[in-house]
Structure 1
């Protein structure tokens, strides 16, 4: 039986919630009444999220925790916090990521390592650490990119970023097979453009027709229902690329 259904509120952990799509996703879910552990490196961004949620719904339940998913202490900081605030984790949304925009010949090994650490190893570690708290019927949602989607348009300067997101896509497919016996579903949304700080960094002169709020609302709904229809899928979510 699914841990997530229409009659109960879900316990959700979301990474990268201090701004952009992660902020909006967490906001939509908290305002709807779900219990959220919101993770980000920026304490100020987390405070803005909690304030925005409370303004929209006085009963909104957001538990913010400043945490670095690459360098943070999972054993002593994250896991005790999640266990205390939520107990179980019905949904994990791996949204946190970073981007470097450099010509390939200027992209260093350190740049590639940073992209892989944040966009692949960070989500993988988060899944490993939280799996014992995810019951049968749980849903893991990785946030990928059309930049790493096979056959999509590619753009100069984004080789390290796109490669790291492509690796996250493949991890999703592999884990669907490994988690099958536990009845935990995992999917990846390969996002196209949405108007965020990250998009502005990648394409300074481009404005997306999709707002961060609209994309966050879509991800929130998919996290709650997508596991009913998909497992191990990398799904393009793009009006433009850009």
Structure 2
């Protein structure tokens, strides 16, 4: 049965692959990214894409209007967009931290708040976090803003799962290890990950469709390497 799915961060990497996987499986997708051209150029008939910046509050009304006019409800929200900053902590500014948190934390919470009224009790909110956000995991210099923001969304989703446990939807986090993407190259130049973007997208695809039958408010560590 066809589902209605919103995915953020779809211009490259895992998000770009996810759009294609869901489309191929016959689902309807709203693909949101600051650069919508990579998805638009695919010309997939059941995919809608328009430019969207998570850090700009005015953009969220576009999503509400689209859902109301085209879908009426949303089955799955995948918060995949992320902003990386790789800079020694002493060199970071208030503005640096603000930009990272605007996308990775405030953007996630605002997207969830925007979509929630259109989700049913069996809806699934999947937020992509990072092993760097897991308490006690190995940490890497230069990623203070990024990794701390990824820890923040883990706690946010645990809280939301509790707050909505009687009514749904379900909220889960996938804390990813190293995946061969442009973002990994920015964080760890020259490092070769054992997992491709498509391989990880296939995992996220399957988990988002059925993971909420077995998990709610949980953080799954999806990692086979360090980092």
- Shorter-normalised TM range: over 0.9
Deviations 1:35-86, CA, capped at 9 Å, x for gaps: 10111110322323x34xx4xxxxx511112111220524642211122232
> What is the alpha-carbon distance in structure 1 between the residues aligned to residue 225 and residue 73 of structure 2?
37
Q: Specify the alignment match of 1:33 in structure 2.
A: 26
> What is the alpha-carbon distance in structure 2 between the residues aligned to residue 233 and residue 34 of structure 1?
25
**In the alignment, is the contact (CA less than 8 A) between 2:53 and 2:59 conserved in 1?**
no
- Under a length normalisation based on structure 1, what TM-score does the superposition of the two structures give? 0.90
Given the superposition, is the C-alpha separation of residues 183 and 161 from structure 1 closer, same or farther in structure 2, using an over 3 Å criterion?
Answer: same
Q: Specify the alignment match of 1:111 in structure 2.
A: 96
Shift of residue 237, structure 1, vs aligned partner: 0.4
**In the alignment, is the contact (CA less than 8 A) between 1:46 and 1:66 conserved in 2?**
no
Equivalent residues, number: 227
- Under a length normalisation based on structure 2, what TM-score does the superposition of the two structures give? 0.96
Q: Which runs of 5+ in 1 are unaligned?
A: 1-7, 55-59
**In the alignment, is the contact (CA less than 8 A) between 2:4 and 2:73 conserved in 1?**
yes
Q: Specify the alignment match of 1:102 in structure 2.
A: 87
> What is the alpha-carbon distance in structure 2 between the residues aligned to residue 215 and residue 47 of structure 1?
22
> What is the alpha-carbon distance in structure 2 between the residues aligned to residue 110 and residue 83 of structure 1?
35
Deviations 1:9-33, CA, capped at 9 Å, x for gaps: 1110111111111111121111111
Q: Specify the alignment match of 2:68 in structure 1.
A: 83
Q: Specify the alignment match of 2:114 in structure 1.
A: 129
More strand per residue: 1 or 2? Answer: 2
> Which of 10, 22, 28 is residue 15 of structure 2 equivalent to?
22
Higher mean C-alpha deviation, range 176-185 or range 219-228: 176-185
Q: Indicate the SS of the match to 1:63.
A: strand
Map 1:1-242 onto structure 2 (within 5 A).
8-48=1-41, 50-51=42-43, 54=44, 60-74=45-59, 76-242=61-227
Q: Please identify runs of 4+ aligned residues in structure 1 that moved more than 3 A.
A: none
